[in-house]
Structure 1
Amino acid sequence: MTVTSVPGVRLRRVAVNGIGLNVATAGAGPAVLLLHGFPHTWWVWTEVIGPLARRHRVIAPDLRGFGDSDRPAGGYDAGTLAADAAALLEALDAGPAAVIGIDLGAPPAFLLAMRRPALVRRLVLMESRLGDLPGAEEFLSAGAPWWFGFHAEPGLAEAVLTGHEEAYIGWFLDRGTLGRGVRPDVRAEFVRAYTGGEALRAAFGPYRALTAGARQIREAVAGGRLTVPALTIGAHPVGRSLERQVRPHADRLTGRVIPDCGHIIPLDRPQALLSLLDPFLAGDDGLG
């Protein structure tokens, strides 16, 4: 293990599904698995890892292809990312865990809970869209976000963006915090993680696998229900769209929206997020 500049956090490398994941860990107690999105790494959780680690064993990987994890040619669909998460929990003997996913990390978190409910104690989904399930019409009223198509075209985005990574990643970080921005060290870490054609290629992998992920989600809800206690948390711009997608398929769901909060909830409004997570992870949520 190596020590990071984030107090209390250590890094380790864990082999899963034929690849190596860079994994940040902290604390002890019931496990909490944190799955980031774009343009993040495990660093998106830096404001909440410390408080969560007071009562929990926090496990925050860089997803395959992101940060300091391996960058294989494929396997970026939500189902494979869910299998990576399951294998990580098993390798660390950490299940059942509370699983929290944001943005691109939410679909694999959902599939993990659907496919391997014995590994998931509680589920939190934030600021994402679950494939093409009904419920996201308001969010998509003006069309899908422009970068979805840009990122999905093989080879295009990395060719255009190589050499301009800082400006591009910075745009998402500023927009995702409603202009408030993030700490300079966090910003620098994200830019480092996304610099270079290979880093960009891997980071766009989940966008190029969205069709496969949508099919996997449809198959999952057609074959069963979400039985673990679940919480959706919206902000700007997704709002309650994710809750509307999940609710018809969930036995025990609570939906919340954090006001005046950008898309990158853990960095923009960490205290508001913790005020929702703490009681839910403890089971004090009225869900049983």
Structure 2
Amino acid sequence: MPMVQIPLRIWRQRGQTFMFRGHAIRYWTAGHGEPLLLIHGFPTASWDWHYLWQPLAQRYQVIACDMLGFGDSAKPAGHAYSLLEQADLQQALLAHLKVTQGVHVLAHDYGDSVAQELIARHDEARIDVASCVFLNGGLFPETHRPVLMQRLLLSPLGWLIGRAFSRDGLVKSFRQIFGPRTGPSESELDDYWSLVETHRGPRIMHRLITYIPERRVQRDRWVQAMQRSGVPMRVIDGAFDPISGAHMVERYRALIPNADTVLLPDIGHYPHTEAPVQVLKHYLAFREVIAASCRQMACS
């Protein structure tokens, strides 16, 4: 049975705002229970989670924001965007909401890198990450295969490419990365584009894309933390994705001890919108394994 979509218009009405280092950040929260932080990808926003939002809110306190430079949050033109700062933002949001217990994380794409930074900080006793599930993302720079638009944004002409970026460009990029039968509708593409173009978003895309070289700088620190931190992790991955599909999962299995991975055939880069029922099933199964282990160890 298909999941119920939250229309973008309704999603936007339910958002709230807090200030982070002088910038207005839009965020959403719902439900009760253990905190679950949802971290979106590039170039979209937290509306990506709308299919999963209500089912997860029935079980957990779900929390999400449009990160700095994304969606309906501030998009300062001269800012030096950083994954490390986005991790600071996530921690600031948790502090704003007075979340003090261990937080579970569900992340996608760009958000995977932010989650990796949070795991590294967990390893450094700077945050308590209770678990982490990664959806398709560049967990290892050596396996990341950027699409043409990403490569162009990284070029010396990136500033010009970004300013010329249009809905047609977004559609062309998305057609390369979704599964053969699970692509977004025209209405959904309109909504994705609305989130990108809000606050003149295209003019900063060449600044946001610097996350790709930043991943290379942080690679060893992040991977080592994943290998030794003890944070329960799972990858749920659309195998059809040319950017971070089955080839990334193969690398994950080679590098991460006792790798817990789920491959979704014929699903592309956005499994939470392409196959939300499957993602929910595999996410809840992962959480049940954690809960069972906790009960066995008499966790409080």
Q: TM-score, normalised by structure 1?
A: 0.83
Question: Following the alignment from structure 2 to structure 1, what is the Cα–Cα distance between the partners of residues 93 and 136?
Answer: 23
Q: Deviations over 1:211-266 (max 9, x none)?
A: 22321232344577332000112112223444444456655641111112121111
Q: Counterparts of 2:72 and 2:237 in 1: how far apart (Å)?
A: 28
Residue 81 of structure 1 contacts residue 108 of structure 1 at CA under 8 Å; is this kept in 2? Answer: yes
Q: For 2:140 and 2:19, how far apart are their aligned partners in 1?
A: 28
Could you tell me which residue of structure 2 aligns to residue 210 of structure 1?
A: 212
Query: Which stretch shows the higher mean deviation, 199-208 or 44-53?
Result: 199-208
1:132 corresponds to which letter in structure 2? Answer: P
User: Pick from 266, 274, 283: which aligns with 1:277?
Assistant: 283
Task: Say yes or no: does 1:87 pair with 2:89.
Answer: no
Asked whether the 8 Å contact 2:72–2:198 carries over to 1, the reply is no
Letter in 2 for 1:206: L
Give the SS at the match of 2:29: strand
List per-residue Cα deviations over 1:4-54 (Å, max 9, x = no partner): 744898311122344321112222211111111123211111111111111
Aligned partner (choices 135, 139, 147) of residue 130 of structure 1 = 139
Counterpart code for 1:125: F
In the alignment, structure 1 residue 19 sits paired with structure 2 residue 23 = yes
What are the residue-to-residue correspondences of 1:171-182 with 2, within 5 Å?
Answer: 171-179=172-180, 180-182=182-184
Cα distance in structure 2, aligned partners of 1:131 and 1:249: 10
Aligned residues: 276
Does the 8 Å contact 2:120/2:221 carry over to 1? no
Equivalent residue, structure 2, for 1:257:
263
Closer, same or farther in 2 for the Cα pair 1:124/1:114, shift >3 Å? same
The separation in 2 between residues aligned to 1:107 and 1:178, in whole angstroms, is: 23
1:77–1:213 Cα contact (<8 Å) kept: no
Work out whether residues 232 and 290 of structure 2, in 8 Å CA contact, stay in contact via their aligned partners in 1: no
Please, which moves more after superposition, 91-100 or 105-114?
91-100
The alignment's C-alpha RMSD in Å is 2.9
Identity %: 22
Q: Which runs of 5+ in 1 are unaligned?
A: none
Structure 1, 170-179 or 53-62: larger mean CA deviation: 170-179
- Are the counterparts in 2 of residues 66 and 202 from structure 1 also a CA contact under 8 Å? no
Does the Cα contact within 8 Å between 2:162 and 2:205 map onto a contact in 1? no
Change (3 A) 1:222 1:273: closer
Whether the 8 Å contact between 1:102 and 1:126 is mirrored in structure 2 is yes
Structure 1 window deviating more from structure 2 (79-88 vs 203-212): it is 203-212
Q: Which moved more, 1:208-217 or 1:105-114?
A: 208-217
Taking a change above 3 Å as real, the CA distance of residues 249 and 74 of structure 1, as seen in their structure-2 partners, is farther
Choose between structure 1 and 2: higher helix proportion.
2
Distance in 1, Cα, partners of 2:200 & 2:120: 32
What is the TM-score normalised by the length of structure 2? 0.80
Q: 1:219 to 1:89 in 2, by over 3 A?
A: same
